Chains A and B, each alone.
Chain A
Amino acid sequence: MFSQNGLSLDQAPPISVVFRFFLSGALFGMVAGGLVLWYGVDIFDATSVGAVTLTHTLTLGVMLSFMFAALFQMLPVIAGVTLTTPVQKANWVQYPLVTGVLALLIAFNQSDGTLLFGIASLLLGGSILSIGVVMLSRLLRLQHHSASSRGMLMALGALMVVVLLALYLTATLTGLGSGSHYLLLKEAHYSFGLFGWVALLIISISFQVIEMFYVTPSYPSLVSRYLPMALVGILGLSTLLSLVVPWIWQVSNPLLALLLGGYALLTLKRLTERKRPLTDATVWFWRIGLGSLLLSMLTRLAFGWGADPIVGQMSYLFFTSFALSIVFAMFYKIVPFLTWFHLNSQGYFTAPMMHEVIHPKTAKQHLVIYLATMGSFLLALWIDGFIMVAGLLTILLFGWIGYQVIHAWQLYKKTQATGEKFDMQMGATV
Chain B
Amino acid sequence: MSEGLIIEHLHVGHGVPPAQRRWAWKRRESGRGPEPASTPLLSGVDLTVAPGEFVALVGASGSGKTMTALSVLGLLPPHVHIEAGSIRLGGTDLTRAGEAELNRVRGGRVGMLYQQPKRVLNPRRTVRSHLLEPLALHAGLRGKAAEERALELLSGAGFPDPASCADAYPHQLSGGMAQRAMMALALAGRPELLLADEPTSALDPVLERQVLDLIDRQRREHGLGVLYITHNLATVAAYADRVAVMRAGRIEESGPATAVLNAPQTDCTRTLREAAALTPDAKPRRAVDHEASAAVVLDRATKRFPGRGRDARPALDEVSLEVRDGEILGILGQSGSGKSTLARLVVGLETADAGRVARAGDGAAAPSRTPGRDVQLVFQEPHDSFDPRMRLRTSLEAPLLTRGGTPAARRKRIHQAVKEVDLDPTILDRYPSQCSGGQLQRLAIARALLLEPSVLICDEATSALDAVTQRTVLDLLRRLHESRRLTLILISHDLSVIRYMSHRVAVLHRGELVELADTADFFARPRHEHSRQLVAAALPPACAILEDQRLSQPNVALNH
Do chains A and B stick together as partners? no
Residues of B at under 8 Å CB distance from A? Answer: none
Residues of A at under 8 Å CB distance from B? Answer: none
